[in-house]
Each structure stands twice: as C-alpha cells, then as structure tokens.
Amino acid sequence: MNDNGMTKALITPLVGANPITVQILGICSALAITKTLATALIMSAAVIAVLTLSNSFISAIRHHMPRNVRLIIQITIICSLVIVVDQVLQAFAYGLAKQLSVFVGLIVTNCIILARAESFAMNNPVHLSTMDGLGNGLGYSWVLIVVGSIRELLGTGKLLGLVVLPTASQQGWFEPLAILLLPPSAFFIIGFLIWAIRSWHPAQVETSEFQTRPELEAGE
C-alpha cells in the first residue's frame, strides 16, 4: 500500500464518514461527557488510544481469527485496552477520571470501536487499520470537542475552567444558558452540526424511507 491509502484511511472518517455525524454512532457518550471541554478532551484521548490500538491488534491477528468466536476475541482485546486506559487515567488524571466515572469503562460498549474492528480491521492490513482507527478517533473527538466547547462556554461562560465570558453573577454581562448543562442540549448541538455538515456535503443526506402520501399533503 502507498501513502495515499493511509492518508485516505485517516481523512475519510473526519467528515466524509464521520462516526458521529454520518454513522450516528457513539451518541451516548457524546451526550454524557460533553458538559465541559476538559472531560471531552480526556474522553477523546481515551477513545483515540483504544480505537487505534484495538484496530491494529485485531488487524494483526485477522488471518488467524477463529470465525465462530471472533466477536468474543475482539471484545476481549477492546476490554483489556479500556481497562489499561482507565488505570492510566486514574493514575495521572484522577480528578477528571472521577468526573468521567463509568463512561471510561463504557468505551467498551461504544459502537464505533467494534464497528471499526468488524468492518475495517478484520479486512485490512495493520497500517491501514491503524490509520482508520486514528481517523475515526479524531472524527469522534472533534465533534466531542466542538460540543464540549459550546456547552461549557455558553453554559458557564468558561472554557477549561477559565473565565471567557464574565457572567452576570460575577459583575459581568453574560447570562449563562443553563439548558446547555443538561444532556439534551448535546442532542440539539449534534443535530445542528449534522444539519450544517449535510448542507455542505449534500451527498450525505439520506433518501427518506417513507414517502408522504400525496392526498395527505394535499389535505394540509
């Protein structure tokens, strides 16, 4: 393979096949841990590490993967990596790991990771799979970071805990939008993001599954 293939494996998941905005995977964690930018950043780093390593390990043994227990083996690899990442976070970023609590462990159940293992790493050589893992990790991360920044900035007037917009309660002018601190706000932001990306790349717009019956439209 040439560099071209590697670049493509890295770039495609950023926008063109972004796991969150196009495949709509990994939404659960995107809602839960984007209240502040710091947690979004740590979660991103954790997912990038797990996804890149799991893709490369699984790709490395793909020719010897027993078909009938392959999901078990993939999950074993992913679980081991997640536990290691969790241990590292508890040792080096204890405060943030405490805020992320169960969501680090829940990376195991993040659909993106198993999806990339099954659909990509099982069929592609190690270097491409590694790039694909990294690319998908970055694609997941930038969405998380955007959502986290918007929520923390407009929800509290701060970024990474530093005051950017002085709030009214501290003699400033900014009135924080409390709704952004609640999980549903991440839904809205991701929704707007998907809308924006699909306006820019109309090819991503799916054909609607159902046609409205013409007589109903006429009746309106």
Partner 1 sequence: MARDDHSGGSWWSRFRALPNDDPIKTMAMTVAVAFVGSVLVASSAILLKPLQIANKEAERRKHFDEIIRQLPGADDVLIADRIQVEARVVDLESGEYAVSIDPTRYDQRRAAKDPARSVKIPEKHDIAGLRNRERFAIVYLIRQAEQLRLMILPVRGRGFGSMLHGYLGLAGDGNTVVGLSFYEHGETPGLGSLIDAPGWKMQWRGKKVWDAGVLKLGVGSGRIEPGSEEARYQVDGLTGATWTGRGVTNLLHYWLGEHGFAPYLRKLRRQGG
Q: Which residues bind partner 1 (CB under 8 A)?
A: 32, 61, 63-69, 72-73, 76-77, 79-81, 83-84, 87-88, 90-92, 94, 98, 101-103, 183
- Closest to partner 1 by CB, 11 vs 73, is 73
CB of 92 to partner 1, least distance (A): 7
Residue in the block written with tokens 């991103």: 44
- Closest to partner 1 by CB, 103 vs 140, is 103
- Closest to partner 1 by CB, 18 vs 130, is 130
- Closest to partner 1 by CB, 84 vs 205, is 84
CB of 82 to partner 1, least distance (A): 10
User: In Å, how far are 10, 36, 152, 159, 160 from 163, measured between CA atoms?
Assistant: 35, 13, 10, 7, 9
Q: Are 57 and 49 in contact (CB under 8 A)?
A: no
Task: Give the residue among 58, 48, 56 at the shortest CA–CA distance from 82.
Answer: 48
CB of 104 to partner 1, least distance (A): 11
181 sits in the region (left: phi over 0; alpha: psi -120 to 50; else beta) called alpha
How far apart are alpha carbons 207 and 45 in whole angstroms? 34
CB of 173 to partner 1, least distance (A): 24
How far apart are alpha carbons 119 and 138 in whole angstroms? 18
Neighbours of 58 (CB within 10 A): 26
- Closest to partner 1 by CB, 80 vs 167, is 80
CB of 182 to partner 1, least distance (A): 9
How far apart are alpha carbons 137 and 77 in whole angstroms? 17
CB of 210 to partner 1, least distance (A): 35
- Closest to partner 1 by CB, 87 vs 199, is 87
